[in-house]
Structures are given as C-alpha cells and as structure tokens.
C-alpha cells in the first residue's frame, strides 16, 4: 500500500518508516497536519498513519479536514503515546479508523494494516458492484422501451410518447399526424416463405420506416405483429402523406419477393394517415383508431397505398 506517514518526531518517523518499508509498503513522509493535507491531495495514498500531537496542525484537525474534502475514503490510523479512552474516542470522532500506541509494535502495525486493506478492498468492491448495478439498471430501462425483433420503440413506449405529444401539440396548437402501417398479405408470406423469413421481412420494413424519418421528434414504433405506427408531431396531413409515399417507394425498392401476394409480386405496405390539431377531447387512442380506420380503407381499396 501507498502509506502517508505523518509524525513531527524525527526518531518516531524513522522507526515507523523502517517498519513499513520492511512490511513492503511505499512510504510518503510528512511532519505536521498541514503537510498531511497537502501530501494527501498530492499523492492520494491508500492509508494515512498520523501522529496526534504535532505542531502547526494536530492530527485530529488534519483528519477532520481530510474527511471534509476527500472524494474517496482513505483509512486513517492515529499513532500516539497518549492512549487513554478519551484520546481514542476523540480520535475516532475526528474521523480516524483506529488508534495505535507508541512506541509502535511492528506485528500489531502489520495486523492493523492488513485489516484496513481488507476494509478498503471491500469498499472498492462495493463501489464496483454499485456501478455495475447502475449500468444494468440503465440498460433494463432502455430494453423496456425497445422492441426486441426490430429495435424500434415498442408499444409501451409509443403509448407514452403519443400521450405526451397529444398534450404538447394541443398546448402549442400544432397539428399531429399518426400513420398506421400494415404489411400486405403477410399471412400468406409467412405461410409460403416461413416465419424466419417473415421476421427478416419485418426487420427490413422497420429499417425502411426508421430511415425515412427526418425529424428527431418523429417516432417509429412496432405496434404489434406486422403493424407499425409513426407518430409525427407538428406535421400536416400533406407532409404526412408525402412521407407515406416516400416510404411506399422505399419499400418497393427493397424488392422483397412475395409470390403469393395478390397485389404485386413483392412485399408492400398499406398505410392509414390521421391528422388533426389535438383538442382536449382527443386522446392518443383516438389518433390510433382513426389512423386504423384509414388503414382499413387502404386495405379495402386495393392495398399498397396510403389513405387519409
Ligand atoms: P392484410 O393485407 O389484410 O394485412 O393481410 P395479412 O395477411 O397481412 O393480415 P393478417 O392480420 O391476417 O396477418 C398478419 C400475419 O402476420 C399473421 C401472423 O402470422 C404474421 N405475424 C405477426 N407477427 C409476426 C412476427 O413477429 N413474425 C412473423 N414472421 N410473422 C408475424
Ligand atoms: Mg508528536
Ligand atoms: Mg395486421
Ligand atoms: Mg397485414
């Protein structure tokens, strides 16, 4: 360990230093409490061994000052020829962790150093575990909002986002657009190509959606199964339909074969757009239901299109 040894007595300093060096520790030397503070800041020692009675600044004062300013706990052991119950009690109250009688006994010193090292290591491990826990917690929170297959926002996150945006657009008197998207004749796609290919297809469509959004405030979510929702704050119906058309073209350009489709021979999307400036009467669910109605019309009138 890197030991900061502080003692005003040159003789005691030499004896303690010799003991510590023999035990294999690295030693930094100081002569009073003021130096203890400075050397502590400069060297960041693993442990401090400090005489109590010293000129300029006593050991207890230095310990108090270190405890007030440290960002990382360091064990402090007092060394003193005064070894009454009151001295020990005052030393611990000042922030010390142990109290050793002078003249030092090397074996006792070695044992106390070992005990302090053990506490230090335990404390370090606790800090590491708590950091790991915090990181795991952040990751859990993130995962709770993400759809596992596509990496898009999931339904849970989307509901929260939509509710928030309905309130915000209502306050700002801004239009809010919702686009419901559904893969055309996906049941026959799965039946013919298999579920794994079906999953691949869902992932490709998800990428098309997310890469088509230009504004950081827009959200693409997997609504469920082969259905997706786009939440577009401060977006007019006209702009939402331009985006839907762009997505339709982009899906086409992926050229995912769908031999069994009655629409065309590749995978297509139908979309329903709903737009309105939210009023206090409108809820997120209303936007979803009305966009879904428009989607139904797109399905009824030939699929592979966006209807508002
Ligand atoms: P429509 O054009 O009217 O939308 O026809 P459709 O066959 O797409 O509609 P339907 O809702 O009847 O079928 C959707 C199918 O999507 C049913 C289900 O097997 C499939 N599906 C839903 N979720 C998943 C998924 O996570 N992976 C795969 N591979 N298929 C899914
Ligand atoms: Mg002294
Ligand atoms: Mg569907
Ligand atoms: Mg479908």
Q: Whose C-alpha lies nearest to ligand 1, atom 17?
A: 187
Element (H, E) at 12: helix 10-22
Distance from Cα 223 to the centre of ligand 3, integer Å: 10
Question: Who surrounds ion ligand 4 at CB < 5 A?
Answer: 182-183, 186
Cα 145 from Cα 151, distance rounded (Å):
9
Catalytic one among 226, 237, 245, 259? 226
Q: Which of 118, 141, 133, 143 lies closest to 46 in space, CA to CA? A: 118
Assess whether the C-beta atom of 202 lies below 6 angstroms from ligand 1: yes
Burial of residue 279, with CB atoms counted within 10 A of its CB: 0-12 exposed, 13-18 middle, 19 or more buried: exposed
- Write the Ramachandran bin of 33: left for phi over 0, alpha for psi from -120 to 50, otherwise beta: alpha
Q: Are 74 and 117 in contact (CB under 8 A)?
A: no
Q: Whose C-alpha lies nearest to ligand 1, atom 21?
A: 225
Assess whether the C-beta atom of 306 lies below 6 angstroms from ligand 1: no
Place of tokens 């929170």: 141
Q: Are 2 and 37 in contact (CB under 8 A)?
A: no
Assess whether the C-beta atom of 224 lies below 6 angstroms from ligand 1: no
Q: Running DSSP on this structure, what letter comes out for residue 80?
A: E
Assess whether the C-beta atom of 272 lies below 6 angstroms from ligand 1: no
Element (H, E) at 76: strand 76-80
- Over the Cα atoms of the chain, what is R_g? 35
Q: Which atom of ligand 1 is nearest to the CA of 299?
A: 3
Q: Which of 85, 39, 89, 43 lies closest to 65 in space, CA to CA? A: 39
Question: What are the pLDDT digits (tens) for 175-188?
Answer: 999 999 999 999 99
Q: Whose C-alpha lies nearest to ligand 1, atom 31?
A: 225
Distance from Cα 144 to the centre of ligand 1, integer Å: 24
Question: What are the pLDDT digits (tens) for 188-208?
Answer: 999 999 999 999 999 999 999
ipTM > 0.90, yes or no = yes
Cα 16 from Cα 108, distance rounded (Å):
12
Token code pair at residue 238: 């006209």
Assess whether the C-beta atom of 299 lies below 6 angstroms from ligand 1: yes
pLDDT the model gives residue 70: 80
Cα 206 from Cα 295, distance rounded (Å):
18
Distance from Cα 101 to the centre of ligand 3, integer Å: 80
For this structure, is 226 an active site residue?
yes
Nearest-ligand number for the alpha carbon of 258: 1
Is the model's pLDDT at 297 over the cut of 90? yes
pLDDT the model gives residue 71: 79
Cα dihedral value 296, 302, 277, 246, nearest 10: 130
Q: Are 12 and 52 in contact (CB under 8 A)?
A: no
* Torsion sign (Cα): 246, 249, 254, 259: positive
Question: What are the pLDDT digits (tens) for 76-87?
Answer: 999 998 889 999
Distance from Cα 7 to the centre of ligand 2, integer Å: 6
Q: Whose C-alpha lies nearest to ligand 1, atom 27?
A: 199
Q: Whose C-alpha lies nearest to ligand 1, atom 19?
A: 187
Query: If you average pLDDT over every residue of the chain, what do you get?
Result: 95
pLDDT the model gives residue 236: 97
Q: Whose C-alpha lies nearest to ligand 1, atom 10?
A: 187
Across the range 275-292, mean pLDDT stands at 93
Assess whether the C-beta atom of 187 lies below 6 angstroms from ligand 1: yes
Q: Are 50 and 79 in contact (CB under 8 A)?
A: yes
Strand partners, 233: 176
Token code pair at residue 229: 């929702």
Assess whether the C-beta atom of 17 lies below 6 angstroms from ligand 1: no
Burial of residue 237, with CB atoms counted within 10 A of its CB: 0-12 exposed, 13-18 middle, 19 or more buried: middle
Q: Are 201 and 269 in contact (CB under 8 A)?
A: no
Cα 235 from Cα 276, distance rounded (Å):
9
Does the pTM surpass 0.80? The reply is: no
Q: Are 166 and 175 in contact (CB under 8 A)?
A: no
Nearest-ligand number for the alpha carbon of 225: 1
Across the range 201-220, mean pLDDT stands at 97
Nearest-ligand number for the alpha carbon of 292: 3
């Amino acid at each position: 360990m890197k030991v900061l040894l502080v003692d005003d007595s040159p003789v005691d300093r030499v004896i303690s230093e010799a003991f510590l060096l023999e035990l294999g520790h690295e030693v930094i030397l100081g002569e009073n409490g003021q130096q203890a503070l400075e050397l502590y800041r400069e060297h960041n020692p693993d442990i401090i061994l400090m005489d109590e009675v010293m000129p300029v600044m006593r050991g207890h004062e230095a310990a108090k000052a270190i405890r007030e300013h440290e960002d990382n706990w360091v064990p402090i052991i007092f060394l003193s020829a005064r070894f009454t119950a009151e001295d020990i009690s005052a030393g611990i109250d000042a922030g010390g962790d142990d109290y050793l009688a002078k003249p030092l006994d090397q074996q006792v010193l070695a044992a106390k150093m070992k005990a302090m090292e053990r506490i230090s290591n335990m404390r370090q491990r606790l800090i590491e575990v708590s950091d790991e826990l915090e990181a795991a917690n952040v990751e859990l929170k993130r995962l709770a909002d993400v759809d596992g297959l596509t990496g898009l926002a999931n339904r849970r996150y989307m509901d929260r986002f939509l509710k928030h945006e309905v309130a915000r657009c209502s306050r700002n008197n801004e239009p809010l657009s919702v686009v419901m998207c559904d893969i055309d004749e996906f049941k026959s796609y799965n039946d013919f190509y298999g579920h794994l290919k079906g999953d691949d297809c869902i992932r490709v469509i998800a990428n098309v959606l997310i890469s088509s959004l230009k504004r950081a405030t827009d959200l693409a979510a997997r609504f469920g199964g082969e259905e997706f929702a786009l939440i577009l704050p401060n977006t007019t119906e006209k702009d939402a339909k331009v985006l839907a058309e762009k997505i339709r073209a982009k899906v086409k350009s992926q050229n995912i074969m769908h031999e069994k489709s009655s629409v065309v021979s590749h995978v297509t999307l139908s979309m329903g757009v709903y737009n309105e400036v939210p009023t206090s009467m409108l809820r997120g669910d209303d936007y979803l239901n009305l966009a879904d109605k428009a989607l139904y019309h797109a399905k009824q009138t030939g699929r592979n299109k966006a209807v508002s």
